[in-house]
Amino acid sequence: MASIVKSLRLLADETRLRLLMVLQKEELSVLELQEILGMGQSRISSHLGQLRRAGLIQDRRAGKNIYYALSDDPVHKDLAPLIEASAREIPEAERDGKALRLLLKNRQDKAREYFNQLAGKFGRTYCPGRTWEGLAHMLLFLVPDLTIADLGAGEGTLAQLLAKRARQVIAIDSSEKMVEFGGELATKHGFKNLEYRLGDIEKPPIEEKSVDLAILSQALHHAASPARAVAAAYKILKPGGRLAILDLLQHQFEKARELYADTWLGFTEADLHHFLEDAGFEKIEVTVVARDEQNPQFHTLLASGVKPAAE
């Protein structure tokens, strides 16, 4: 556990306070922290090193990038009021908050623009992990007469397959073009039980406890916070409902960030298990279900969990 006395000494520096203020709200890379605070890399890294050694923050490597976030140390509960009060005395705090919001908006806009450009081309463009073999495993979970949420649906190829049997399918995507294109396809094919809605998978515009099955098919690695997306899926599920996740096994293909607007380079089996467990799911299963022969030979994970029948 971090020492409160040592932590207070570290908080006496305004730069370290500013770092903790923004890291309270979002996990960020050194480059992003430079952009928000308007400081050089060496200065930022030096302060991050002191905070990490004190146990106040933790780091995570993803390909060539290192991301920083507050650690899970209980001492943060004691320090949080002090950090928040200090924000009122630091002139740069308000500017840092605005810079963070702009950065996060740019993150989202970048991914949305990628999918807007891709709308109408998914069926003819290679996308890692989108294999019929993988999808077939997930379809095994289907039973008739379900209300299903397809979170991060894209054009809704899967949603339209589900709509052939389900009571209702709600397809959620953050790309206006994807939602527009998918809605037109649904109308063209006569699906009256398929609805497209514009929204974020971390805050899906779906009523709580209203769906039987929620699906995240190759969508979780685009989320800013996969844990929040899984927790959000838990909220919209009825007691006894199931979440199915189809995504990439952790890999080192760094170009995926540029080529496919990926935020995360896949996940380990343990990652998905932790997300489901922390959200409250039971009967958790995680397994590799497909392996691409084409380089860089992505592997596909299928994870599922059930919301307890009695909460």
How do the domains of the chain map onto residue ranges? 4-109, 122-306
Residue-level pLDDT at 168 = 95
Residue-level pLDDT at 130 = 67
Say if residue 122's pLDDT is above 60.
no
The CA–CA distances, whole Å, from 197 to 153, 190, 191 equal 10, 17, 15
Helix (H), strand (E) at residue 270: helix 269-279
| Beta strand spans in 267-306 (E) | 282-291, 299-306
The CA–CA distances, whole Å, from 109 to 37, 102, 114, 115 equal 21, 10, 9, 10
Residue-level pLDDT at 91 = 81
Q: Rounded distance, CA 71 to CA 2, Å?
A: 10
Q: Are 115 and 172 in contact, with CB atoms under 8 Å apart?
A: no
Report which of 104, 28, 100 is spatially closest to residue 67, judged by C-alpha positions: 28
pLDDT digits 0-9 by tens, 271-301? 999 999 999 999 999 999 888 888 899 999 9
Say if residue 140's pLDDT is above 50.
no
Domain boundaries 4-109, CATH class: mainly alpha
Percent of the chain with pLDDT over 90: 47
Q: Beta-carbon neighbour count of residue 245 at 10 Å?
A: 27
Residue-level pLDDT at 73 = 73
pLDDT digits 0-9 by tens, 53-95? 888 888 988 878 889 988 877 766 667 777 777 767 788 888 8
Residue-level pLDDT at 12 = 77
pLDDT band at residue 125, thresholds of 50, 70 and 90?
Answer: low
Say if residue 206's pLDDT is above 50.
yes
pLDDT digits 0-9 by tens, 161-200? 888 888 999 999 999 999 999 999 999 999 999 999 999 9
Describe the crossing of helices 269-279 and 226-236 by its angle, rounded to 10 degrees: 40
Asked if CATH classification 3.40.640.10 holds for the domain at 122-306, the reply, yes or no, is no
Residue-level pLDDT at 121 = 63
What is the DSSP code string of 242-264?
Answer: EEEEEEEBP---TTHHHHH--SS
Q: Rounded distance, CA 259 to CA 126, Å?
A: 11
